[in-house]
Structure 1
Amino acid sequence: MANTAELVFIPAPGLGHIMSTIEVAKLFVNRDQRLSITVLVIKPPSSSSGSAITAYFESLAKNAINRVTFVELPQDDAPPMHDPKSFVASFNEYIESHCKHVRKVVAELLSQPGSGRLAGFVVDMFCTCMVDVANEFNVPTNVFFTSSAAFLGYELFMQTLNDDEKQDVVELSNADTEVSVPSFVKPVPTKVFWDVLRTKDGLEFAMLGARKLREVNAIMVNTFLELETHAVESLSADISVPKVYPVGPLLNLEGSSGKPSDDDVIRWLDSQPPASVVLLCFGSMGSFDEVQVKEIARALEQSGHRFVWSLRRPPSNGTTKVPSDYEDPGVVLPEGFLERTNGVGKVIGWAPQVALLAHSAVGGFVSHCGWNSLLESIWFGVPVATWPVYAEQQMNAFEMVVELGLSVEIKCDYIKNLFDPKAKTPIVSAEVIENGIRRVMEDKEVRRKAKEMSEKSQAAVAEGGSSYAAVGNLIQDFISNIS
């Protein structure tokens, strides 16, 4: 229909990024009949991570979304991404190689009879090179930022230090100090800084993205005002930053990733007392070597708490391929562990995380602190014991523990180099892990705060809530572009 506002969505090729972008798309078309969305899918360069994304899109195809269309972009030969020194530069180059395909697909889309008027692009935080393509079509770009408002403020502040104040951000990031970042109330230790900024290549990648963020019409953040009040207000007060809209939490609560649910573990949880089970799950890229696995097992056994543990096998060749499930987890666990914990806990492979967090028996969550996972834990009121692994997860952990008091710490500065199998990874002792498990299951104040924030998160997206209002303002913005 010619009077519809057509939006082009471009998510980054990672499952967490794609799933939350689809939630935004669903939200927009459900709120306003005049909106129509085409999602341009950039396939991931690695075939192994691509299989999870393919399964997710197949599950979406079975449940078609009105006025949301998916177009897979052609895939060029990917640059090599296994070299840790060049990974970020290669990733940027890979995304940029799709600009020509986006240009062609959008031109074809607009030439179709009866197509709507193009109202704008909505691009992922890692796809800001598409701003130039949107400019060619004379439409605004809005960024969907899949991490926290505090992290958005940090990224923009680091760009100010680098570009305007001529500070050596790589040297700063590798120093042992604390830095006052406007989007955080408390000084941020450099040991939890985004690991990308610790190398020259990484800094260049991050600065390119941050500069482009300043060119866009608006930045939609998957957060809500009541969670990150200080961060959102600090961004809104900065006239050099585009308008920021907290639109979350945007969650895939059906938990559909194209994988079958594990009915056995749900049945087991059905027989456990309320809030008595701790869930351990480290995301799609999270895995540990045998030494660390044994420390986790000892901690669980010593804590005496019931548990569900998603234990994944590390990739064997050290490339960016994702972890897989063990045929027999007993090969890496301490001898007799499965027998001794029979009835007390369950060791599983891939975990239906949303279904588990939603279950009344789950009372604590040992998490890698991916932003989507933290928002899910907040939604269900399950407190977190933080164990970040890579990317910006250390900063998320710091925010949850120190800034907001919504989590307890196992480690906030643990980091694993996913792209260099020879890089030394620290071992977290059973005693430290056990202490974190006990605290997350027994700290009444953290549990109270988690419950309170859960209620605020659900109110934010309900009619009359802060995020509901922000989405309404955005939609008006889009509609005004075609009127």
Structure 2
Amino acid sequence: MKIELVFIPSPGVGHIRATTALAKLLVDSDDRLSVTLIVIPSRFSDDASSSVYTKSEDRLRYILLPAGDDSTDHTFVSYIDSRKPQVRAAVSELARDVSRRSDSRLAGIVVDMFCTSMIDIADEFNFPAYIFYTSNASYLGLQFHVQSLYDEKELDVSELKDSDVKFDVPTLSRPFPANCLPSVMLNSKWFPYVVGRARSFRETKGILVNSVAEMEPQALKFFSGENGNVNTPPVYAVGPIMDFETSGDDEKRKEILRWLKEQPTKSVVFLCFGSMGGFSEEQSREIAVALERSGHRFLWSLRRASLVENMTNAPPGEFTNLEEILPKGFLDRTVEIGKIISWAPQVDVLKSPAIGAFVTHCGWNSILESLWFGVPMAAWPIYAEQQFNAFHMVEELGLAAEVRKEYRRDFLVGEPEIVTADEIERGIKCAMVQDSKMRKRVMEMKDKLHVALVDGGSSNCALKKFVQDVVDNVP
């Protein structure tokens, strides 16, 4: 019997690319499988749709939904909800198509962690629903734990805003500080959404997590039921799921890589803050001061922050005149050791032998890419679950130095305090130490990530287990 899975990624570049990479991995792993991705276009650019860079193939197809309501009144969540009619129509057509083939069954719908409202569509058609959780298993455990605290003990973690309290999370080995909770958990308006999403996760047949068992043993032990947890679906750690396809300006990429080839091994600190990461002029000056004082060579992806209240509707922009915003003479003094860019071909940069450390916003894809290439990090989170990820990397696993792990800049908290040049310099210098214990741990984790994907590795086995469970759950 041939089986078909439908994937519904959320409309963000990182999520679509990770979902595409997972779909390819599944199709390559089992000849019985076919996958169709229903792609919701981005609200404010064509970045997401252009991420579907591969033409449909025999067992891997893409359905790009037409552009819809681009109203800036939408939140990220309400925008996804507004696309349910188009997604429902696409699923209905797919179901009819598969039903005409006697040897095929539509085996389930895999929705992105932010697309839980689409579980209703799976229920309507009586298809099993699964989650692709593009973050880590430890954070998934935090979401379940926060929901349990609220539903079973009436404890609302949004009341911990501005608190210095620490509390236990079953997927972490160290007490977790409330000031590293994501903003949506600390906001009374958004907290019900957080709880509702965790409840939805529990109703699915399984959760694919973009992580590795050897990287998160505490979390995987919890989800295995060894600690008495029997109230969550099966969790499959199938990572690292990464997209190494290159997009963007080819000439700029060549120029950047030429510059890197001229630099000594592990001599360059790379600063890049994701698709939504930008900074004010004042913060940019602090970074410049830190870079110059550190004495290290640098490759700096510098972009102008969008207005904080408009972060979800517009990506960062470009500074028109760097000489006006950076310290006087900075560009001249660092011309031999530094390069400032806007867009960065992150994967190509991280795999360059010249890169010695990565100052990152701690997006999960960026963390996995850095570890895959054995590059130590300095953690400077900005939004979403990145504060949790920073704690996870710095305190729990010792794979990153800290810039400021509780830093946040998003539409829920407004403009943050400036991170000082001293903090930034300290994080850079720590991450760039060549013979540090942290660098050794990073290299050990690099090996574990690579081994996990080979035949017989933990992630390879988890992927096979997922496929078998999908077959067993076919309605």
TM-score of Structure 1 vs Structure 2, range by shorter chain: over 0.9
Q: Which residue of 2 aligns with 1:251?
A: 242
Q: Does 1:125 align with 2:113?
A: yes
* Structure 1 position 329, deviation (Å): 2.8
* Structure 1 position 262, deviation (Å): 1.4
Moved more, 406-415 or 331-340: 331-340
Q: Does 1:278 align with 2:273?
A: no
SS in 1 for 2:54: helix
Q: Which residue of 1 aligns with 2:351?
A: 358
Q: Distance in 2 between matches of 1:265 and 1:330?
A: 20
Q: Does 1:385 align with 2:371?
A: no
Of residues 233, 247, 264, the one that matches 2:221 is: 233
Q: Distance in 1 between matches of 2:3 and 2:161?
A: 43
Contact 2:128 2:474 in 1 (8 A): no
Q: Does 1:479 align with 2:467?
A: no
Q: Distance in 2 between matches of 1:157 and 1:174?
A: 20
Q: Which residue of 2 aligns with 1:176?
A: 164
Of residues 294, 313, 327, the one that matches 1:334 is: 327
Of residues 144, 158, 162, the one that matches 1:156 is: 144
Contact 2:37 2:61 in 1 (8 A): yes
Q: Distance in 2 between matches of 1:317 and 1:437?
A: 26
Contact 2:8 2:38 in 1 (8 A): yes
What does 1:283-302 align with in structure 2 at a 5 Å threshold?
A: 283-302=274-293
* Structure 1 position 324, deviation (Å): 2.5
Q: Distance in 2 between matches of 1:304 and 1:393?
A: 28
* Structure 1 position 110, deviation (Å): 2.3
Of residues 34, 37, 49, the one that matches 1:54 is: 49
Identity %, equivalent residues: 44
Of residues 17, 28, 39, the one that matches 1:41 is: 39
Q: Does 1:396 align with 2:394?
A: no
Q: Distance in 2 between matches of 1:149 and 1:473?
A: 17
Q: Distance in 1 between matches of 2:264 and 2:156?
A: 53
Amino acid at match of 1:60: T
Deviations 1:364-419 (A, max 9, x none): 00000000000001100100000001111010000101000111111101111246
Of residues 191, 194, 198, the one that matches 1:203 is: 191
Q: Which residue of 2 aligns with 1:139?
A: 127
Cα RMSD for the two superposed structures = 1.8
Q: Distance in 2 between matches of 1:212 and 1:316?
A: 32
Q: Distance in 2 between matches of 1:102 and 1:52?
A: 20
Gaps of 5+ in 1: 82-86
Q: Which residue of 2 aligns with 1:409?
A: 402
Q: Does 1:242 align with 2:233?
A: yes
Q: Which residue of 2 aligns with 1:458?
A: 450
Moved more, 117-126 or 101-110: 101-110
SS in 1 for 2:353: coil
Of residues 84, 102, 127, the one that matches 2:87 is: 102
Gaps of 5+ in 2: none
SS in 2 for 1:324: coil
Q: Closer, same or farther in 2 for the Cα pair 1:74/1:267, shift >3 Å? A: closer
Q: Distance in 2 between matches of 1:433 and 1:175?
A: 24
Contact 2:16 2:51 in 1 (8 A): no
Q: Which residue of 2 aligns with 1:84?
A: none
Of residues 10, 13, 16, the one that matches 1:12 is: 10
SS in 2 for 1:201: coil
Of residues 86, 100, 114, the one that matches 2:101 is: 114
Q: Does 1:449 align with 2:441?
A: yes
Q: Distance in 2 between matches of 1:54 and 1:475?
A: 27
Contact 1:26 1:65 in 2 (8 A): no
The total of aligned residue pairs comes to 465
Q: Distance in 1 between matches of 2:387 and 2:425?
A: 20
Q: Distance in 2 between matches of 1:30 and 1:473?
A: 15
Q: Distance in 1 between matches of 2:88 and 2:49?
A: 24
Q: Closer, same or farther in 2 for the Cα pair 1:353/1:66, shift >3 Å? A: farther
Contact 1:52 1:257 in 2 (8 A): no
Contact 1:42 1:73 in 2 (8 A): yes
Contact 1:56 1:258 in 2 (8 A): no
Of residues 21, 40, 54, the one that matches 1:23 is: 21
Which runs of 4 or more aligned residues in structure 1 lie more than 6 Å from their structure 2 counterparts after TM superposition?
Answer: none
Q: Distance in 1 between matches of 2:320 and 2:255?
A: 17
Amino acid at match of 1:101: Q
* Structure 1 position 66, deviation (Å): 4.2
Q: Which residue of 1 aligns with 2:296?
A: 305
* Structure 1 position 424, deviation (Å): 3.0
Amino acid at match of 2:278: S
SS in 2 for 1:249: coil
Contact 1:280 1:308 in 2 (8 A): yes
Q: Which residue of 2 aligns with 1:348?
A: 341
Q: Which residue of 2 aligns with 1:439?
A: 430
* Structure 1 position 192, deviation (Å): 0.4
Moved more, 344-353 or 442-451: 442-451
Amino acid at match of 2:163: A
Contact 1:52 1:258 in 2 (8 A): no
* Structure 1 position 76, deviation (Å): 4.3
SS in 2 for 1:342: coil
**Superposition TM-score, scaled by structure 2 size:** 0.94
Q: Distance in 2 between matches of 1:168 and 1:74?
A: 39
Contact 1:315 1:323 in 2 (8 A): yes
Of residues 315, 321, 326, the one that matches 2:314 is: 321
* Structure 1 position 103, deviation (Å): 2.2
Moved more, 210-219 or 110-119: 110-119
